[in-house]
Each structure stands twice: as structure tokens, then as C-alpha cells.
Structure 1
Amino acid sequence: MSTTTPTIRIPGPAGFPLIGVLPYLSRDPCGFCLKAAAEGDGLVRLNAGPIKVYLVSHPDYVQQILVTNAANYIKGSMMDGIRLALGNGLFTSNGDFWKRQRRLMQPAFHARRIQDMVEHINKVVADGLKRWTPTIERGEPIDILTETIHLNIEIIMNTLFGATVESERSTRLLDLTNKVFHGMTERVWTFFLPRWIPTPGATAYQQAITSLDEEIYSIIATRRANPVEHEDLLGMLLSIQDEETGERMSDGQIRDEIFTLFLAGYESTASGLTWTWYLLSQHPKVAAKLREELDQVLGNCPPTYEDLPKLTYTRQVIDEAFRLYPAFPMFFRSSVDTDILGPYQLPGGSQIILSPYATHRDPRYWDNSETFDPDRFAPERFDARVRHAYYPFGKGQRMCIGEPMSLTIAQILIATIVRAYEVELAPGVVITPRYAMTYQPRHGLPLILRPRSDKH
């Protein structure tokens, strides 16, 4: 960090009078951030209504914010609309409280627990393929986004609650979660408004949160009234005890963490997988190379946890898809004190957007940045420079706790479906992305799955 105070003005587009660039951010935030980052030098000032927002895309600046000087950057007011739903869970909390919660929850994501999930993941996928079979046999398209969300919901529900939530309640939870997720997306770009100012959809958003609260608290109360040991995340949250203080989690804390894992987990992996299948449908040579690896490693058997490290090209395909289409294309932070980023002085109290989407597509850091090339993640090419510019799950101590689980689910779903079917985009379909906290095709992704022509 420089010992002198830089005087270089942080560049950025002016936008409209009074409202600045807010119309661009609300209409197409990812496209706008990509364009603004390309015209800047890794740090861009955005006028957003009455306040200044700074877009950060340079890998060195991202490293400073998320790793080397992370204490200066908190989950601030840009998270308020999200915090309304997620409370003080891992995704939104700060400081010592966050560290405590992370420490308590880390065992739930150890390798042994993820290994125990594999059998259930395989069953969910096998049941899904059976459900799709009539549609596949008729040669009709399947909306792979919707179907992958349903598969992921089944996996996440089992991880959170085991077999203790009946199907009717599961359907109700999914419906409420979709409403809350939609409300969170609508609130992102109203962060600068006082809470007392009415905004469209605010009442429906609060009602959905309240209804989902009732469902979660009811499940917690039932478990507390019947303290049988359960091998799921809720059972673990109810039983864990802080070794330093002896405290257990309150119902409110458990609610916040369940909310966070459910809302952040169910759609992010599904969105990333959807783009992976889209890219494979557009790049048959990559799909063929992927099938060769799957045939060699798996034969006719479902993937096991021990198989996953051997599926190196499968992982490269997923990594490259997550580079082009990170499930969470933007992260939000607020600076506490003034900081120096390269030649620029970033004021304290600033609102910050970090954009993996923009960094991952910047030709200053990636060769042929818009090209789908899984081989760029081969060990001989994925060097320190490239690794420095890749952060689909974040960086540093606040890197997504669910990354190992997400990648395990992704590898198994890709391996199972691609090994059995060739995928092609339904005729006449035009894919338009949209930002909805995650990044996904606006109208889903209708794919036609055809049984492999080279294997019976």
C-alpha cells in the first residue's frame, strides 16, 4: 500500500441527473458492470442516486478488499434489503459474530458430511431422469433450469431437514422461497432509500418472509419437542455448542442460518449448472471430450465420492462455465475507513460492487476471454496469474462455506446426465440472461435430451 495519498480521480460514467446510473444497474446490472469495467481501470465510480457506488474488478483490488484488508470492508447498507430476509446469518453478518457462526457451522461442510450426501444426490438425479423419460422419448424440450432447481431443492431439503419434512410442506417452502428470492432481487437497487419510503412489492416481500418464518420456526419447535438425533444440518445446529462460551444457538440464529443456506444454496448451483448445459449444447467437441472421461472413469456406474477427484476435465468444464456465468455475478461491501487501491483513494463509507462477472470476462486478465475453453483450467495453464482473477465463490475467510457442496452436486449432475444424453438447444430459442441475485436465462433453458447415439 502506498504511503502517499493518491490524487487521481476515480473515473466513471455520469449517468442521468439526480438518479445517475441507477436505470442501467436495475435494467442490466451485469452487462452495465462489464461495460463500465472495460472502460475503466479496475475501479470505477458510479453515481447511484444521492450516493456514490464503486465498481471493483481489478484482481489486485479484489484481493485487497476480500483478503488482505478484509476487516475494512463489511456487509453494509447495500445488503439491507437482503438482510431483511436473511437476518444475521453467515451471508449478511459481520465481525466477531460472523466468526463465531462460521466456526460453529464449519463442521457441517467437512468432507465426511459431503461424502455422506453422494448416495442421496445420485438417488435424486436417478428419480429426476425417470420423471423426464416420457418427455425425452417424445423428443420434447425440458426446461433444464426449472428441473435443475427442483433437483437441487430436493438435495438441499434433505441436507437441511433430512426426511422430516413432508412433501406438502416442502412444496410450500419452495413457493415461499421463490417469493422471498424475487423480493430480495427487487430490493437490491433501492438500498439508498430510507425504509419508511414505500417501494413496489415491499408488502408482498414482507408477507412472504413472515410466512416462511412461520414454517421454519414450526420445524425448529417440532425438533426441539422431539429431541431425537438427526444426521442433518438442522440437527447439528440444534446440538452444537460453542467451545469457548458454552452457548448454543438460539431459535432466531438457527432460523437465520437455515434461511441463508436455503435461499443462497438452492438456486445458485442450479443457475451455474444451467449455463454449463447451455455451453455444452453449443460446443459439441467439448461435450464429446467430457463423455470420453466419464466413460473411462465411471463405466456404467453412478459416480461415487472417490470418483470425483478423477473427473478432472469435468471439473474444468464446470470451472469454465462458472467463469463465464458465475452464479452470483456481484458481491456487495461497504468500506469502513479510507483505503488506497492502486493509484486511487477509496473514501470510507463507500458502497462497493465487486463483479466476478466483469473480472472473469476482462481480456486484460484472460486470453480469449469470451471463449468457452475448459482447457484454460488445466494445471499447466491455470497459473497464479489466472487463479488471482478467478473468484466465483468469493475469496478469503468469507469465501462461500457451501463451495465444496455446490461443486459436488454440480459434478454428479453433469456426470450423470451428460454420460447418458446429448443435449441440444430447442429450435428457435434465443437465450437472454437476467440478474435475479443469481444469473440465469430469463425464460429458462429448453433443452432436448437425446440418448447417446454412440452408446447403447
Structure 2
Amino acid sequence: MTCPPPTATLRPGQLRDPFRLLMDVTARHDGLVRLGRGPLGVYIVSHPDYIRRILVTHSGNYIKGPLMKPFRTALGNGLVTSEGELWKRQRRLMQPAFHVRQLQLMESVIVAAVDRAVDRWAAAAETGRPVDFLDDCIELNVEIVLGALFSTSIDPARAQRLRELTSEVFAGLASKVWTFFLPSWFPLPGVIRYRRAVAALDAEVHALIAERRAAESTPEDLLGLLLDTVDAETGAHMSDQQLRDEIFTLFMSGYETTATGLTWAAYELARHPEIAAKLAAELDGATARPRPTFAELRSLEYGKRVIDEVLRLHPPFPIWFRSTVAADDLGPYHLPANAKIVLNPHMTHRDPAYWSDPETFDPDRFTVGRFGTEQRHAYYPFGKGSRMCIGERMSQTITQVALSAFTGTFEFSVAPGFEVVPQYVVTCQPKGGLPLILRRR
């Protein structure tokens, strides 16, 4: 026999920091708790067995649903927000954009952007001034996303305009993410500015699509690939609107996720210089160049474990949203139809039932002898099942190239007196950035 999940009561003022509220409530309960009542009520899930049921074995009953309302204003029906047959079709059409061959074609874009970032960091190291590593990594990541999408067909002034609009849209999206439970007519501050930013970015993207369709030749970039892609089942190309939605999705998904991961990696390595030294030694043994080639990345086993551990403690999306279609049971608990669900990988990744010393940064927990079935079951930084993030390999590759170049060139520490406090803005990132003092190795 099942029963309703335990309920945690909302107290005045707690919604001022919703992310901290979710973390605290989850920590006090065993994998599933209802937070609040009525229209404010959501079910917070962190138990690996329940996560697997939601994302893998019974995923058809757990849709993105109305909880994704704030995202759809910007992303439309891209891969992150679409459902059902439309999502299946788009997944088929988008898959080639993330194959190994496409990543190899992107190598020059990634390497050039990383080299420019290293030059900026080297200039800062000469002066001794702190570098806001989060801000710099966002700039690096946007350069890569724009280069991968549009190659050389976009001029610097237009690229800067796209960066500015993307930043404005992302900021607006971050401010709306906790409003999913409010009715659509509810007045929210900044909504007009947000919609204007989306419309402006919309116009830029549609103009780029129109220009590329009218061009005589198609560069080997992601936009060219998406324009040429044909659905094997229907023979149809993507419409301009669907192209727009997928480009927006790539912008938004790629804008801060990889940048945030790189920032947390630098933070953890700054706190653990012995691990940074071990990572640098592996790089020295693998290549004589300032950074490894794509082919050499496979040999950097310790570097891969470092990134895995960063993603455990700091998953790119620390909370996800789902809604039930029909009533269902999770373990001993019953969920009604249309239940609003928040998945919490941030807490699953720190559950002491599955991770020894879970708050300790320890890359070696991902060695073959220690990373077993239980740990794999409780680790999902990019999701699980059919809706696992299609860009995982791309994100991991960018992270490994950039982190290798950074740790292979510099020693670094957090600026004295700066306190690192996590904050949730779609991704979870250090509040106020991450000022680092750099020194050449």
C-alpha cells in the first residue's frame, strides 16, 4: 500500500532563496518530499530509484509539461522543451550535429577560442590583476558556440550583438525560472524587457537563416548541417521556425553550462593544488604542446576523472522539471496526475548512501574499482534515458580542451578575501563570479 509523500511547510521569506530552500528540504527527507500545498505545491525527488523510474523506465508518464513555461518563451519547441513525436523527429534531425565527425570539424573553432582565452589570461598573469574566470569562460563558450554554428559567416560586430542579446535573454530566463507555478496573466517585473530581448535575438537568428538559405555555398558548420538535414522518415527539412528554436536552444544550453563547469573545475583545483599538479603532470606526459589535440584527449584518464568529479559536485543543471501525466507510485509514495516535480541531481550526487565522504573533492572515486553500479545509478549530470543531453560529448570535449590549456599553463588561486557562494541562475554558479590570481607555471 502506498501513501502520500511527507510534506514540508513553506515559511515566510523562504522563497527569497528557492535553490537553498530546495537543498535544505531535500536534505531532511529520504528521496521524495512535497514542498508547499495547493498551486505552490511541488514534489522534490532525489532518490536514484525514483529518478530512474521518472527518466528511464516510465519516462512516457513524466513530461516537461507546464513547468517549462518560462523556457518556452525563449526556446520555443527546441530539443529541451519539445514533447512526443515532435521531440522524436527533432532528435533524429539533430543527432548528426553531435557526431564525432562534427566535433572533429569543430576542433579548429574550439582551439582558436581557447588560444585567445589563454592569451587573455597570460596578460592578466603579467599584471597580477584578478581574472573573473566565470565571465571569461562565458566569453570563451559563446565564441565557440557562435563559431560552431556560423563559422566565418558572421562578422565581429554581429557576433558581439548576439553575445549581448544572449546574455540579456539568459538573465531574463534566470529571473523567471521560479515562476512556473504562477498563472500566465500574473504580472512579473522585467517581463516586457525579457520579451523584447527574445524578439531582438529572434530577428537576428531569422536573418542569419535567411542569408544562409540565399547563399550560393554552405560552410561546414552546424547551421549548414541543420539546413541540409533531411528527415529519413518523411523527406522533410526543418522549417525556419524549427531551425530558430534549435539555434536558440543551442545558444541557451551552450551559453553557461560548459562555462559554469569550467569555473567550478578551476575553483576545486584552486582549493586542491595537489590535484591540479597531478593533472598538469599528466598533461606534460601526454603532449609537448600547450594543449592536447582531440586525439590525445582519450589518453588523459585523470583529467576525465577530474571533470567527472566536478560534475558530481556541481552538475550543470542542478534541478530539472517534470510533470506527471497519470498518477504513479514512486517506491512507497503515491503521486497524483499533473503533479509538478523537481528532480534534484545536486542532492543525489551528494547522498552519503551512495558516495563516501560526499562533500570531498576526490577524482579517484571514478576509478574502475570505486565507481560501481550503485554510484553509476546515482550519477546523472546530463540526465538518463532517451532524453539524456544530446550535447554531452561536445560539452565534455570543450571542457577538457579548455581545462587542459588552463592548468597546463597556469597556477592559480582564488583572490584573497573572496567568499564563494553558489547561486542558482538556471545553472548553479558562484555568486559574483570567480576572481582568480594567475601565475605562469
- Find out whether 1:15 has 2:4 as its counterpart: no
User: What is the rounded CA distance, in whole Å, between the counterparts of 1:229 and 1:175 in structure 2?
Assistant: 26
Residue matched to 2:394 = 405
| CA–CA distance in structure 1, aligned partners of residues 41 and 413 of structure 2 | 44
Aligned counterparts of 1:67 and 1:95: Cα–Cα separation in 2: 15
Whether 2:412 is the aligned partner of 1:448: answer no
State yes or no: 1:121 paired with 2:110.
yes
SS in 2 for 1:439: strand
Q: Aligned partners of 1:415, 1:423: CA distance in 2, in Å?
A: 14
Q: Choose the corresponding residue for 1:177, options 141, 147, 166.
A: 166
**Paired residue type of 2:252:** L
Query: Are the equivalent residues in 2 in contact too, given 1:217–1:251 (CA < 8 A)?
Result: yes
- Tell me the secondary structure at the aligned position of residue 424 of structure 2: strand
Aligned residue for 1:209, secondary structure, equals helix
The residue aligned with 1:105 is: 94
Q: Count residues with an aligned counterpart.
A: 441
Residues 195-228 of structure 1 show CA distances to partners (whole Å, capped at 9, x for unaligned) of 2221111101100000000100010111111141
Q: CA deviation at 1:101?
A: 0.1
CA distance in 1 between counterparts of 2:37 and 2:383 reads: 24
Let me know the Cα RMSD of the aligned residues.
1.3
Q: Which amino acid aligns with 2:310?
A: A
Q: CA deviation at 1:133?
A: 2.5
In the TM superposition, what are the counterparts of 1:113-192 in structure 2 within 5 Å?
Answer: 113-192=102-181
Specify which of 296, 300, 307 is matched with residue 318 of structure 1.
307
- Which of residues 194, 199, 207 is equivalent to 1:218? 207
2:64–2:83 CA contact under 8 A, matched in 1:
yes
Structure 1 residues 72 and 169 mapped into 2: Cα distance closer, same or farther (>3 Å)? same
Determine the structure 2 residue equivalent to 1:20: none
In structure 1, stretches of 5+ residues that fail to align are 18-22
Deviation at 1:326, TM superposition (A): 1.0
Match of 1:429 in 2: 418
Rounded Cα–Cα distance in structure 2 between residues aligned with 1:343 and 1:11:
11
SS of residue in 2 equivalent to 1:392: coil
Q: Percent identity?
A: 51
Question: 1:337 and 1:9, CA in 2 relative to 1: closer, same or farther beyond 3 A?
Answer: same
Structure-to-structure mapping, 1:21-420, within 5 angstroms = 23-29=13-19, 31-47=20-36, 50-420=39-409
Task: Give the ranges of 4+ consecutive aligned residues of structure 1 lying more than 6 Å apart after TM superposition.
Answer: none
State whether residues 23 and 347 of structure 2, in contact with CA within 8 Å, keep that contact through their aligned partners in structure 1: yes
> 3-state SS of the aligned residue for 2:233?
coil
Contact between 1:12 and 1:36, CA under 8 Å: does it hold in 2?
A: no
Cα distance per residue 1:322-353 (max 9 Å; x no partner): 11111211110111011111001111100110
Does the 8 Å CA contact 1:331/1:353 hold for their aligned counterparts?
A: yes
Deviations for 1:25-63, whole angstroms, at most 9, x for unmatched residues? 55141x322221221111110116624210000001000
Residues 300 and 247 of structure 1: is their aligned pair in 2 closer, same or farther, counting only changes over 3 Å?
Answer: closer
Q: 1:426, 1:185 → 2: CA distance? A: 27
- Cα deviations by residue, 1:292-335 (Å, 9 ceiling, x for unpaired): 11111123353111111111100111110111111211110111
Q: 1:143, 1:447 within 8 Å by CA — same for their partners in 2?
A: yes
Q: Distance in 2 between matches of 1:115 and 1:234?
A: 16
SS in 1 for 2:122: helix
Q: Is the 8 A contact 2:212 2:218 kept in 1?
A: no
1:28, 1:434 within 8 Å by CA — same for their partners in 2?
Answer: no
Where in structure 2 are there 5+ consecutive unaligned residues? none
Please say if residues 393 and 403 of structure 1, whose CA atoms lie closer than 8 Å, have aligned partners that are also in contact. Answer: yes
Structure 2 Cα separation of the partners of residues 425 and 48 of structure 1: 42
On the 8 A contact 1:240/1:248 being kept in 2, the answer is yes
